Amino acid sequence: MGKHYQALLEKINEIHDLEKSLWILSWDREVNMPSQGSAVRTQQMTTLRKLHHQLYTADKTGELIENAESELNGASYDSTEASLVRYLKRDYAETKQIPEDYVRRVSEVNGKALPAWKEAREQSDFSIFAPHLAAVIELSREEVEYREYEDEKYDALLKQYERGMTTADVRAVFDAVKEAVLPLIQAISEKNHLVDDSALHQPFDVNKQKETAPYFARAVGYDFDKGHLGTAAHPFAASFSRNDARITTRWNPNFLNPFLFGVMHECGHAMYEQGTGPELERTPLARGTSMGIHESQSRMFENLVGRSRGFWNTHYNHLQNAFPQQLGSISLEQFYRAINKVQPSFIRVEADELTYNMHIILRFELEQAMLNGDLEVNDVPTAWNDKMAELLGVTPANDAVGCLQDIHWTRPSFGYFPTYALGNFYSAQILEAAIKQSPQIETELARGQVDALHQWLRENIHQHGKKYDSAELITRATGRPLTHEPFVAYAHKKFGEIYQL
């Protein structure tokens, strides 16, 4: 390691510490902060964000990057050194484009939008949130001006979350999935009687849920010596280092799924961060490479593992023992079919594997319309409900379970939603490749074990962190770029069997 690289690394470590501190404040805000703490917390986060931006975008940082680059010459493309310099060079230039004042305003708008959204959702009153959404859209349009794009404005935002994919690319994959999956959803709707999921909708004691959750986190491979489970209204995972990657969940007293599959989902995210290479610690490479690849890991453990026959063959017993009154008389087969019921519904995070993608397509289309000025804020609830009817044939009972259900629009994050569906498609492609390379994985999964899968993921996905962009990573790991085919094949096989199609 040369002295210029060493100097760069020290600076980057500090900047990264500041960013992670901001994450700790943010996590705490969602999990522990009392209601009245919000105003000052926003100011504290604004200050940290501003200091981070100042330190990172200082000319000094640019010099350090340049000096380190000139010193690299021999380092291989795959080395940590070359990867870090490569990443920083691009990211530094892009971040310099964003004015400090803009960063401050994003923080302020978010600080006000978040409690307003919570109140709007509680009262199911979109008008409380509308002015804040208008402010978020304005900020998003401003951001487009700072970021380069070739064809569509939305491209400028999308690339922050899924580098290398354009809006047109995403549209093409989504269209292919829609073409293949909508007829499947339609066919299933005619066989609705084959699956009864009423067992999942019963009173489940919340304290018992809290006692049971760690078992299922461990069952998918989550390590509590490097993690923590908290409660949050809108669950998420957050990592403060590879040895402190946390999950959150919510507890629904009348529905089993939110905590059970929510925990496995967030574990997928957190385990990705726990698996990043130790040599990347305290650098911006120590995280998942893109939102889509990140989501592939959460969906892997929530769905491909967590909703599989093999998993429940092994673990159903434990769940039955935790809730004997509710599940004692429900057979394994009944339970397996229940948790895989396909049924159009309002809430994205509780949707099944097939209709979920339609929720995303809806948001993808509305976001473009808002950004391009084709949809006024006040018309969002109507547009939302119209699209729900078009794509899923259902109309939300109110805005709380409609356009107010997600936290995402409390800050400029257009372009984020599509990555959720991309995650589904990545996950199927990744598992297909993993099993082809290591048949042991399939053998283990059939017994509810995840060790071989984790080993493959760690080697081929996790350890690389942000060294490679998602397009490059998926090709290295699976031998080809993202395609909808493995997901469509998986969907037809699994749900064709369940619904006797």
Residue 237: strand, helix, or coil? strand
Closest to a copy of itself by CB, 38 or 314: 38
Within 253-282, which residues bind a copy of itself (CB under 8 A)?
281-282
* Single residue of 102, 146, 149, 240 touching a copy of itself by CB under 8 A: 240
* Single residue of 104, 228, 315, 458 touching a copy of itself by CB under 8 A: 228
Binding segment for a copy of itself (CB under 8 A), chosen from 239-247, 377-385, 408-416, 432-440, is 239-247
* Single residue of 67, 123, 241, 440 touching a copy of itself by CB under 8 A: 241
DSSP conformation letters of 272-335: HHHTS-GGGTTSTTSS-S-HHHHHHHHHIIIIIITTSHHHHHHHHHHHHHHSHHHHTTS-HHHH
Question: CB–CB of 460/434 below 8 Å?
Answer: yes
Strands 244-249 and 237-241: antiparallel
Residue 104 within binding range of a copy of itself, rule CB under 8 A: no
Residue 14 within binding range of a copy of itself, rule CB under 8 A: yes
Question: CB–CB of 422/476 below 8 Å?
Answer: no
Q: Tell me which residues are annotated as active site.
A: 266
Binding mask 185-224 for a copy of itself (x = CB under 8 A): ----------------------x----------------x
Q: Among candidates 368, 444, 362, 421, which has minimal Cα distance to 395?
A: 362
Sequence-distant (6+) residues with CB within 8 A of 466 are 87, 280, 284, 285, 286, 287, 288, 289
Q: Among candidates 351, 440, 435, 352, which has minimal Cα distance to 401?
A: 351
For tokens 């629009």, name the residue. Answer: 409
CB of 87 to a copy of itself, least distance (A): 20
Within 21-40, which residues bind a copy of itself (CB under 8 A)?
21, 24-25, 28, 32-37, 39-40
Binding segment for a copy of itself (CB under 8 A), chosen from 46-54, 157-165, 186-194, 256-264, is 46-54
Q: Among candidates 254, 295, 238, which has minimal Cα distance to 30?
A: 238
Closest to a copy of itself by CB, 222 or 420: 222
Q: Which two tokens stand for residue 150?
A: 């070739």
Binding mask 320-349 for a copy of itself (x = CB under 8 A): ------------------------------
Task: List contacts with a copy of itself (CB under 8 A).
Answer: 13-14, 17-18, 20-21, 24-25, 28, 32-37, 39-41, 43-44, 46-48, 50-51, 207, 224-228, 230, 240-244, 246, 281-282
